[in-house]
Amino acid sequence: MNMMRTGILIAGMTALFLGVGFVIGGETGMLIALVVSIGMNVFAYWNSDKMVLRMHGATEVTASSHPAYYNQVAQLAQQAELPMPKVYLMDNPQPNAFATGRNPENAAVACTTGLMQMLNKDELGGVIAHELAHIKNRDTLIMTITATLAGAVSMLANFGMLFGGRGRNSPFGMIGTLAMVILAPMAAMVVQMAISRTREYSADKLGAMICRDPMALANALRKISGMAERVENHSAEANPATAHMFIINPLSGARMDNLFSTHPNPTNRIEALQQLASEWGTPSRSAHTIDRPSYAEQPQSGHGGPWGGAPHSQDKSGPWG
């Protein structure tokens, strides 16, 4: 059902883009819009992952530089039956994470230093599993396409404001063009946000299956959603079009689960995970439970430090046995 809904929304976004082209220049404008959309999506398909990682100052890490972090990603990727993604770290105090890449074979997971410092090992595993779920569901490609189309709609709307309605190819004249300039970007944003929110719930559920602990992810969401509201993410504020990629909205303001939010309300997501834990018979941890040491504070061996040390064992029972 979620995939069908996502497909319908992407089709709606594409139709909106072509409609903007038609308003600006009739059939010729619609054809140009089609060519532009194909070109932009081909470029985004091959380059979007590198662009977004660069935007957020992400640095690739290895098994030798950050063994505990790297090996936890490797173990969870194996549990998810995914190829090993590239692993990145962002020097950012806001606790957050995202995944990117055009397919599972060319994917990357990026976490912030703030996330490492706040969460314990199980909670970090829940966040990583959520991002791996996005990769497994191919949400990273879906989000790239919708973000590209949304940007293209806004670009065409601005173009129409300058040139639309003046030529004989425009069937609606200046009044129609003005209405399009105002409404089209808003409609594109609504569709983009609807797709994003749909995919977050799916990634939460699959992520819980991957890490075998719904409450680890629920507790992580509780912690980082509260802190993300208080700690500014400068790179995300400078690049708001990437906000939908993060596990929690990295932008200040607009935290409500409404038509214009990039993410579902964290409370709704936590409740859904608590319900899943109840169905699986996983014990629920209340918001007032005393947490174990964060990932950065746990005893490490080998390299030491917040992300050094040997890989941790994750052998435990869960919905996968």
Q: What is the pLDDT of residues 138-162, one digit of tens each?
A: 888 877 777 777 767 777 776 766 6
CB atoms within 10 A of CB 113: 17
237 catalytic per annotation: no
Per-residue model confidence (pLDDT) at position 251: 86
Q: Which residues, given as ranges, of the chain have pLDDT below 70?
A: 1-7, 9-10, 151, 158, 160-182, 184-185, 187-196, 253-262, 282-321
Report the C-alpha gap between 247 and 130 in whole angstroms. Answer: 8
Where are the domains positioned within the chain?
2-280
Looking at residue 290, what is its pLDDT?
A: 37
Residue 194 is predicted with a pLDDT of: 66
Distance CA 183, CA 293 (A): 49
Considering all CA atoms of the chain, what is the largest pairwise distance in Å, rounded to the nearest integer?
Answer: 73
| Residues 95, 124: Cα–Cα separation, whole Å | 10
Q: What is the pLDDT of residues 75-128, one digit of tens each?
A: 999 999 999 999 999 999 999 999 999 899 999 999 999 999 999 999 999 999
Could you give the CA distance from residue 229 to residue 276 in angstroms, rounded to a whole number?
A: 26
Choice among 131, 200, 232, 237 that is catalytic: 131
Residue from 73, 36, 30, 97 nearest 236 by CA? 97
3-state class (DSSP) for residue 107: strand
Three-class SS state of 45: helix
Burial 53-90 (b: 16+ CB within 10 A, else e): beebebeebeeeebbbbbbbbbbbbebbebeebbbbbb
- How many whole angstroms separate alpha carbon 243 and alpha carbon 240? 5
pLDDT at residue 16, rounded to an integer: 76
41 Cα distance to chain centroid: 18
Q: d(Cα 301, Cα 308) in Å, to the nearest integer? A: 7
